[in-house]
Chain A
Amino acid sequence: MDAVLRAVVVYVVLLAIFRVAGKRSLSEASTFDLVLTLIISESIQQALIDNDNSLTNALLLVLTLVGFDILLAHVKQRVPAVARVLDGLPVVLMQQGELQRDRMRRERVDEADLRSAAREQHGLENLEQVEHVVLEDSGTLTVIPRQRGA
């Protein structure tokens, strides 16, 4: 019984913490984000297992986590408001060539991040060549280049 409870509590608490942390946390934008993800996974592991190294415990944990995930996916589909709260929504950080500095500040994204994404995704040289930039709910930046001849 406690395996199921532990799994659900961990799922819910981690979900809450990451939503509160903001989109850019753990988006693996920096090397340290990856390190942080690893450390978090190690910290949680011991608590989930709780000295019970049996196959049963391990399978129950996986079953509960995946099952709860499926349940939430169904709820999100049926109730869009829940999907919004749990996943967040994309935010346009640059529209039609214009930087939205207030939104960038709130999401902790700076111009350097935008330029970096523009280079990585489209090989663009500068922000003048960018039409829109969207910060997706997953935390990744997507760059839409300015159409040639526009």
Chain B
Amino acid sequence: MVERIGGLEVEQDLRFQRRDWMAQRVGWGVMALLVIAALTGLFGRGPASVQHATAADRTLRVDFDRFVRKHAPSALEVTIAPAAVAGGGAAVWLDRRWSDRVRVERVTPEPERVTVEPDRLVYFFAARSPGEPVRVDFELSPERVGDAWGRVGVVGGAPAEFRQFVYP
């Protein structure tokens, strides 16, 4: 609809414009909510995203990111109880249903060897623990989008279960 103002012909429509301005304000509200959600870590890397899970027999605790993004760096920090370190080593297993969805970039410290089993990967570390917990870090990067349930545990111990959501 062409409006005429003096000699000027212009496609102004103030009724539409008022609704447009209102829609913009709603849009700004949505943007603000998204930014706040991001700041709290809902989209990864923030306070809401840092969580931990402990095995039922307390042999192991895992600190993980509840929200991660595809191809972005993430980490699994596994703390092994001193009781679970025996015979000069500690063995940690990772559920393959989860580990198949991520790429493990680096394990600190380097494991002595890794054994592949049908449903899990077992990492063997040389370890000595005079009464202190021992920590192992898995640096990884998720390869698949969506919900992922993971389990990690000490060989012979109860699993610690965790859940992650991977954003695209």
Contacts and interface: CB of A to CB of B under 8 A. Distances in A.
B8 A50 contact: no
Contacts of A22: 24
Interface in A82-133: 84, 88-92, 95-96, 103, 106, 131-132
A105 B20 CA distance: 14
B11 A131 contact: no
Given A20-B27, A22-B24, A132 B17 contact: no
Interface residues of B, number: 19
A134 B31 contact: no
Contacts, number: 48
Interface in B1-31: 3, 5-6, 8, 10-13, 16-17, 20-21, 23-24, 27-28, 30-31
Contact of B12 (A92, A96, A106, A131): A92
B128 interface: no
Interface of A: 16-17, 19-22, 50-51, 84, 88-92, 95-96, 103, 106, 131-132, 134, 144
A-B pairs, top 10 by smallest CB distance, nearest first, are A20-B27, A95-B5, A132-B8, A96-B6, A106-B21, A20-B24, A90-B10, A92-B12, A89-B13, A89-B11
